[in-house]
Amino acid sequence: MTVIIGLEIHCQLNTKTKLFCGCSTDYRDDGPNTHVCPICLGLPGTLPVTNKQAVLYALKVAKALHCKVPAFSEFARKNYFYPDLPKAFQITQYDKPLALGGYIDNEAENGGEKRVELTRIHMEEDPGRLVHKGSGDRGRYTLVDYNRSGVPLIEIVTEPQLSSPKEARRFLNKLRATLEYLGIYDSEREGSLRVDANISIKGYERVEVKNITSYKGVEKALTFEITRQKGMIRRNAQIVRETRHYQEARGVTTSARSKEMEHDYRYFPEPDLAPLEVSSWVDEIPLPELPDARRDRFVQQYGISQNHARTLTGDLKLAEFFEEIASDMPEIAAPWTADILLGELNYRDMPVTKVPVPHYGALLLEVKKGSVTDTSAVEILRLILNQVMEGQQPEMPGEIIARLGLSKEKGDSIVDTVASVLRENEAAVADHRAGKAGAINFLVGQVMKATRGRADPKEIAKIIADLLKE
């Protein structure tokens, strides 16, 4: 059963002001309804005026994603009633969007590239936000916060060319990285990237899943929905064309069908705004180095693997971090950052921007000099990250090595340890002499344990071999 997925991605543009008024878009730490004015509250008599910066940001995305920008596009009204929509219409774009076509080269299952084509990119305003309170039949009520009302969004629509939830996740990661590189999007703002997905099994009706409020939820939502659809097909149940809502907390999709959801949006051109004739602006818009180009440069400049380069450039902040510490020792910095640091950060849900560069750099230097073992270095890294998480001033690796005695034990200092381990494990020594392959590993492990990880396993193996020869 072939899976067909298309995505609609809503991305908040991080302009200073809203799409059609002068209100600030950065309301994160402020109370409800503090970033509002007559225009974004939709008071009678107010008129929208388009924020040029928002158009430039949207065009920047269109250019980076290889879209065509038509000579003429226009805003339209999408009419529907909902308490978060103060004008009872959303200013969006309908049949004349800002940009058409375009594509993203996405990492494919086999490690190569698969081109995913885009249908269009259009601009629109975000509605306000509802906050549901209370409980019980009579006790429930809803508050409306219009701080978000009028924040500029772009909607990026893909062709139905994605074939698995994993691929969709990779696509979104790539898109998100590109948007971050363009500097038009702030991933740390809650709800700054929201996804609707169209999912079908080839030969059956398609289902739209709305309300995926985090891009991390996409893979889970898609997986659930595909399992549901496949199950229905197996049971010979009919899949109906419908809109379903993703319930993040339960990880399931539920049918959104109700009278209120069956909209006829009555689109028509927004009479208060002149058409956009902005295609000539595109040439003037400078593009920064984008993820693909940076990945290729990392391979060239630092001599690191394609896979490491892809991981390291898959996030703008990570790429910048890597470049800060990479110059002297890319061959160590690449695997350490892509394989070890990233894992530790994910485990702690910690952003890379919080990693202290001098400390991390010094740690890699110790690794490079061979003054600590990898095991000790990971221990030191964890200690530093935990200190940062707890709000402490982190210790430098040198201090930690000295304090905990983590210096790598070398040569003579470990020969005695090895000798005593051999004495205490005669059975294993006998096994080794008899040619049992696992015995040496056991012995090395015992020495590692005895030195609390401060010895290099290769060196231990060599010493064991030398001692047993004698």
Q: Which chain residues interact with other proteins by CB under 8 A?
A: 38, 41-50, 77, 79, 81, 83, 86-89, 138, 141-142, 144, 260, 264, 266-268, 271-274
Q: Of 50 and 73, which CB lies nearer to other proteins in the complex structure?
A: 50
In the complex, minimum distance from the CB of residue 62 to other proteins, in angstroms, rounded to a whole number: 22
Q: Determine which helix (DSSP H) or strand (DSSP E) holds 6, and give its type and residue range.
A: strand 3-12
Dihedral angle sign, alpha carbons of residues 14, 160, 223, 339 = negative
| 155 bridge partner residues | 10, 122
In the complex, minimum distance from the CB of residue 232 to other proteins, in angstroms, rounded to a whole number: 29
In the complex, minimum distance from the CB of residue 217 to other proteins, in angstroms, rounded to a whole number: 26
Q: Of 50 and 158, which CB lies nearer to other proteins in the complex structure?
A: 50
Q: Of 80 and 204, which CB lies nearer to other proteins in the complex structure?
A: 80
The single-letter DSSP state of residue 377 is H
CA distances from 128 to 91, 144, 227 (A): 13, 7, 33
CB 99 within 8 A of CB 120: yes
In the complex, minimum distance from the CB of residue 250 to other proteins, in angstroms, rounded to a whole number: 24
In the complex, minimum distance from the CB of residue 59 to other proteins, in angstroms, rounded to a whole number: 19
In the complex, minimum distance from the CB of residue 272 to other proteins, in angstroms, rounded to a whole number: 5
Q: Of 85 and 362, which CB lies nearer to other proteins in the complex structure?
A: 85
Q: Of 146 and 181, which CB lies nearer to other proteins in the complex structure?
A: 146
Q: Using DSSP bridges, classify how beta strands 3-12 and 252-255 pair: parallel, antiparallel or unpaired.
A: unpaired
Q: Which 3 state secondary structure label does DSSP give 236?
A: coil
Q: Of 38 and 251, which CB lies nearer to other proteins in the complex structure?
A: 38
How far, in Å, CA of 230 to CA of 255, rounded? 16
In the complex, minimum distance from the CB of residue 114 to other proteins, in angstroms, rounded to a whole number: 36
Q: Of 260 and 320, which CB lies nearer to other proteins in the complex structure?
A: 260
In sequence order, which residues have a C-beta less than 8 Å from that of residue 159 and are 6 or more positions away?
A: 6, 116, 117, 118, 119
E strand intervals along 66-110: 76-79, 89-92, 99-100, 103-107
Closest alpha carbon to 2 in 138, 204, 178: 204
In the complex, minimum distance from the CB of residue 48 to other proteins, in angstroms, rounded to a whole number: 7
Q: Of 46 and 247, which CB lies nearer to other proteins in the complex structure?
A: 46
- What is 292-334 written as a DSSP string? HHHHHHHHHHH---HHHHHHHHSSHHHHHHHHHHHTT-HHHHH
E strand intervals along 327-427: none
Q: Of 273 and 404, which CB lies nearer to other proteins in the complex structure?
A: 273
CA distances from 375 to 30, 371, 383, 386, 447 (A): 45, 12, 13, 17, 14
In a 10 Å sphere around its CB, with 0-12 CB exposed, 13-18 middle and 19+ buried, how is residue 82 labelled? middle
Q: At what angle do helices 411-424 and 437-450 cross, to 10 degrees?
A: 120
Q: Of 45 and 435, which CB lies nearer to other proteins in the complex structure?
A: 45
In the complex, minimum distance from the CB of residue 210 to other proteins, in angstroms, rounded to a whole number: 19
In the complex, minimum distance from the CB of residue 60 to other proteins, in angstroms, rounded to a whole number: 22
Place of tokens 């390291």: 312
Q: Of 263 and 462, which CB lies nearer to other proteins in the complex structure?
A: 263
In the complex, minimum distance from the CB of residue 204 to other proteins, in angstroms, rounded to a whole number: 25
